[in-house]
Amino acid sequence: VFNLTAHAYDGDAALYDDALSVDEAAIRHWYKYLSAQPRAPQIITTGAPTAGVTGALERALSRYMEVSVSTHTTDKREPEYQLYGPTRATLYVYSVKPAV
């Protein structure tokens, strides 16, 4: 990238000051949060819209921009994709004495 400021000024001009710079601690925090949360479509779509990953992203982004949430449903006559609910199962474990 050609730097036009080099011709007008002796030193390099800072492109971003401290207010607009990338906060590495915030990036690290979001990385740890998003990697710890389940993001399967059936989990995200069955919960409340203001909970979990979706709600956290909405709250964080609403500080910097206007956020609008829209809900979409699949066409019941001819769905292009199918989202299944979370599977729940009960596991029973028994300790059996071996026959001698």
Ordered alpha helix ranges (H), 16-86: 24-36, 41-46, 52-61
Q: What is the mean pLDDT of the chain?
A: 75
Query: Which residue reads 């609008």 in tokens?
Result: 68
Q: Please compute, for residue 32, the number of CA atoms within 13 A of its CA located in the half-sphere on the CB side.
A: 6
Q: What is the mean pLDDT of residues 46-63?
A: 79
Indicate if the pLDDT at residue 64 is higher than 70: yes
Q: What is the mean pLDDT of residues 68-73?
A: 76
Predicted local confidence at residue 28, as pLDDT: 92
- From residue 3, how far is each of 17, 22, 41 by CA, in Å? 17, 21, 45
Q: What is the pLDDT of residues 1-40, one digit of tens each?
A: 555 655 555 555 566 666 667 788 988 998 998 888 877 7
- Nearest Cα neighbor of 83 from 92, 74, 91 is 74
